[in-house]
Structure 1
Amino acid sequence: MVVVDRLSKDRHFTPCRTKMKAYDLAMLFVRDIWKLHGLPDSIVSDRGPLFVSEFWKAVCHRLQINVSLSTAYHPETDGQTENANAFLKQYLRQYVNFAQDDWDEWLPLAEFASRNVINDSTGMSPFFANTGYHPRMSFGPPRAIPHKAPKELTERCNQGNKFASKMHQITDLLRTNLLSAQASQERLANTTRSPAHAT
C-alpha cells in the first residue's frame, strides 16, 4: 500500500498480503499512518474492493474522513500516488533478487530514500516538512574486533559490519539514483514547456 500526503509529499510504503480484508486495511492505516500523522481530512484512493467496502466507508465516516475515489480507468486522478508507485517500481527493479521474493525487505529503505529528496513543489524533503530537520545519514567506521576475540564474537561483529556496510552502499546509491532521476525528470519537463512570452 502506498500512501502520499498531498501537503508535505510525505509517503509511506507498506507491504500487504494479497488476500486482505477491509479490517486489515483499517489496521494498516492505524499502524502505519494514523499513529504517525493523526487523522487526515480526506483520502483519495482507487476503487479497489477494500476501499469501496461498507466496512471501510463506515470507519472513514466515523473518523470524519472524506473519501474520494479515483475515476474508473483514470487512476491518474491521484497523480502523487502514481508518481510514488513509479518510483517504487523503479527502485524495486534495481534491488529485488532474481526470485523477486525479498521486495518487502527493501520497502523501508525505499521509503527512507523517497522521503529525503527535495520536492520541486515544496522546496524541501518530505522528512524535513514533517519534522523540521534532516535525518542523520552518516555511517561510522566498522567496529574494531579485539585481536584475541572468540570466534563467535568475531563472526557476529563481521556480520554486523557487513550489514552496516551494505546499508551504507545502498543509501549512497539511492541518493545518487534519486538525484539522477530528478535531473532526468526536470530535463524531460523542460523539453515539453514552451517559454513564456510577454504580451
Structure 2
Amino acid sequence: MAAGYPLQRVGMDILGPLEKTPSGNRYVLVLTDYFTKWTAAFPLANMEASTVAKVLVEKYVAYFGAPDCLHSDQGRSFEASVVLEMCRLFGIKKTRSSPYHPQGNGQAERFNRTLLDMLSILVDGNPGQWDDMLPFVMLAYNSSVHESTGVTPVIAMLGRELRLPLDVQIGNPPILPNFISNLLTVL
C-alpha cells in the first residue's frame, strides 16, 4: 500500500474508547497520509458515521483537500452510507482492509499505539484531559523526523518546517531564493 505523493492514500482508524473528557469525548479519529506520514487526530464524542463524515469534511478535507484514496478497516463507522456518499461526492476511492488481515491499515494502527504512549505521558494524573493535549501531541509527532522518510511529516506535507517557539528564540532560517527547487530535492 505505497503512495507516491501526498494525499494519494490516507489511512483512517478510530482509537477508543478512552476516558470520557469534560467535553464529552471518548474516541479519536486518526488519519495518516501514507506518503508523508503526516497524521491528524481529532477527538470524537462518538463513533457514529455521521460524526466521522462531518469531522472528515470540516477538519481534514476543508484544509488539505480530498485524498485520492481513503483506507480503513471494515468498521461500521467507515462503511456506512453517509461516509460512502461523502467519498463519492469528493471523488475519493474508499478501500478497506480484509477482515482476515486487519494489519492492512498498519500505519494508522501503529500510530494509535504511539498516540496512546504520548498522551499517557502528557496527561499523567489527569487522564480526563487527553483531548486538550491532543493538538500538542500532534504538533510534536508531525514535527519529529520519521524513521522511514528521514524528514518530518511537516516538511513532507507542507514543504517547510513549522515555526515553533524555539525558532523565535534562535531566529528564522535564511530565505531560500530557490525554495521550490530545494523542496523538490528534499522530497
Structure 1 length-normalised TM: 0.65
Q: Deviations over 1:10-68 (max 9, x none)?
A: 000100112x4322211100122112210111011122211111121122122211111
Report the secondary structure of 1:88's partner residue: helix
Q: How much identity, in percent, do the aligned residues show?
A: 29
Map residues 21-36 of structure 1 onto 2, 5 A cutoff.
21-36=48-63
- 2:5 paired residue number: none
Q: Which amino acid aligns with 2:159?
A: G
Which of these residues, 100, 125, 137, is aligned with residue 164 of structure 2? Answer: 137
- Where structure 2 has 5 or more consecutive residues not aligned to the other structure, the ranges are 1-28, 170-187
Report the AA paired with residue 110 of structure 1: V
Question: Which residue of structure 2 lines up, in the alignment, with residue 13 of structure 1?
Answer: 41
Question: Higher helix share goes to which structure?
Answer: 1
Q: Unaligned 5+ residue runs, structure 1?
A: 142-199
CA distance in 2, matches of 1:132, 1:76: 30
Q: Which structure has the larger Rg?
A: 1
| TM-score with structure 2 setting the length | 0.68
Verify the 8 A CA contact 2:120 2:127 in the aligned structure 1: no
Distance 1:75 1:137 in 2: 37
Structure 1 residue 106 corresponds to structure 2 residue 129: no
Match of 2:150 among 118, 123, 133: 123
2:95 is paired with a residue of what secondary structure?
A: strand
Find the counterpart in structure 1 of residue 81 from structure 2.
Answer: 54
RMSD of aligned alpha carbons:
1.8
Which stretches of structure 1, 4 residues or longer, exceed 4 Å deviation after superposition?
none
